[in-house]
Homo-oligomer: A and B are copies of this chain.
Amino acid sequence: MRFATLRDGSLDGRLLLVSRDGLRAMEAAPVAPSLLAALQRWAHVQPALQALADALDAGHAAGAFDFDPHACAAPLPRSPQWLDGSAFLNHGRLMDQAFDKPPPPLVDTVPLMYQGASDDFLGPHDDVPMPTEADGIDFEGEFGVVTGAVPMGVSPADALGCVRLVLQLNDWSLRALGPHEMKTGFGFLQAKPSTAFAPLAVTPDELGPAWRDGRVQMRLHVQWNGARFGEPHGGEMNFHFGQLIAHAARTRRLTAGCIVGSGTVSNVARTAGSACIAERRIIEKIDLGESRTAFMRFGDRVRMQACFDDGREGPFGLIEQRVVSAA
């Protein structure tokens, strides 16, 4: 199943089912008013939602209409928690060089994860208001999952069974603020403004064999102002999503609808490019002796699209955003 959320002025928006070809949609309201409501009663509503999705794909759903991703909010405009890992160790290693800091302790065995704000997510085509270009505006292309209810102390294997949906997201970051917040030990806060999401949240089966080993085995194609920036592959994640969920649930239970992120998709091979500017800057510094690429300016655009290994477009749809002055 593929879900999207129609912006309707409410906090949770209105749940849509979207056809496999991405062209048609229908309201799921008779079954669940919002995606959050569906996740909270997943076992109860899943069969009815699947029946609606099947009817939509078969072309005989009553009330179907053309799908417009520009009318969409994030699939979950708010979620109970937003827990973002840093599960591509290649990215972490490069960032440590960028911040001129030693690697964190236990980095190979214990996932890094920060708690982000989850009350005000951005939709796939929303402008991104930022206070000042001086903050070092950067995108971060990631994959993520939405969980059902997760018990405290879950094992990584059982945690994988709690994955309900897979997501593609852009974890907006302010690089001038991150180093200070890391040094305090209290973690990212101002450095992580509202995160944005591709329009479709999909059940893992929609990925077919590209959902494998608890990872999204797809390339994330990133363009900045129309130019290719990178297409790193999600399969290189050093911790899988089950490990990330289990880490998050070590001392707390998670309620249905929590989002767990992969961290910036990042590959060891330089040919893959990057999914954030900070990483390119540090690669430039290493390879060329200096960072040549500046961070984003107001008016800049970023585009992210996941693709299967055979080149077909992934099921999440596009993130296409423009940075604007919040003033």
Residues of A within 8 A of B (CB): 11, 40, 78, 80-81, 83, 86, 101, 104-107, 110, 112-120, 129-131, 135, 152-153, 174, 177, 180-191, 193-194, 247-248, 250-255, 258, 326-327
5 nearest A-B pairs in the assembled complex, by CB-CB distance: A187-B187, A182-B185, A80-B119, A104-B184, A114-B186
Determine which of B11, B113, B135, B182 lies in contact with A189 in the assembled complex, contact meaning CB atoms within 8 Å.
B113
Residues of B within 8 A of A83 (CB): 189
Given contacts A115-B116, A120-B253, A120-B255, contact A104 B189 (CB under 8 A): no
Given contacts A119-B80, A185-B185, A186-B112, contact A153 B180 (CB under 8 A): no
Pair B183/A105 contact, Cβ less than 8 Å? yes
Quote the shortest CB–CB distance from A250 to chain B (angstroms): 5
Q: How many copies does the complex hold?
A: 2
**Complexed CA–CA distance, A114 and B135 (Å):** 19
Pair A115/B112 contact, Cβ less than 8 Å? no
**Complexed CA–CA distance, A174 and B258 (Å):** 22
**Complexed CA–CA distance, A119 and B248 (Å):** 13
Residues of B within 8 A of A187 (CB): 114-115, 181, 185-188
**Complexed CA–CA distance, A200 and B86 (Å):** 38
**Complexed CA–CA distance, A252 and B182 (Å):** 18
Residues of B within 8 A of A326 (CB): 152-153
Quote the shortest CB–CB distance from A298 to chain B (angstroms): 15
Determine which of B81, B135, B251 lies in contact with A131 in the assembled complex, contact meaning CB atoms within 8 Å.
B251
- CB nearest neighbor in B for A174: B251
**Complexed CA–CA distance, A191 and B189 (Å):** 17
- CB nearest neighbor in B for A120: B255
Determine which of B106, B114, B181, B252 lies in contact with A194 in the assembled complex, contact meaning CB atoms within 8 Å.
B252
Quote the shortest CB–CB distance from A193 to chain B (angstroms): 5
Given contacts A252-B193, A252-B194, contact A113 B186 (CB under 8 A): yes
Residues of B within 8 A of A189 (CB): 83, 113-115, 247-248
- Which of A40, A104, A117, A120 has the most B CB atoms < 10 Å from its CB? A117
10 contacts between A and B (CB under 8 A): A81-B119, A104-B186, A105-B180, A113-B186, A114-B186, A135-B251, A152-B326, A153-B327, A182-B186, A187-B187
**Complexed CA–CA distance, A226 and B40 (Å):** 40
**Complexed CA–CA distance, A258 and B80 (Å):** 13
Quote the shortest CB–CB distance from A41 to chain B (angstroms): 12
- CB nearest neighbor in B for A183: B105
Quote the shortest CB–CB distance from A238 to chain B (angstroms): 15
Residues of B within 8 A of A114 (CB): 115, 186-187, 189
Residues of B within 8 A of A153 (CB): 131, 326-327
Quote the shortest CB–CB distance from A102 to chain B (angstroms): 10
Quote the shortest CB–CB distance from A195 to chain B (angstroms): 10
**Complexed CA–CA distance, A230 and B152 (Å):** 32
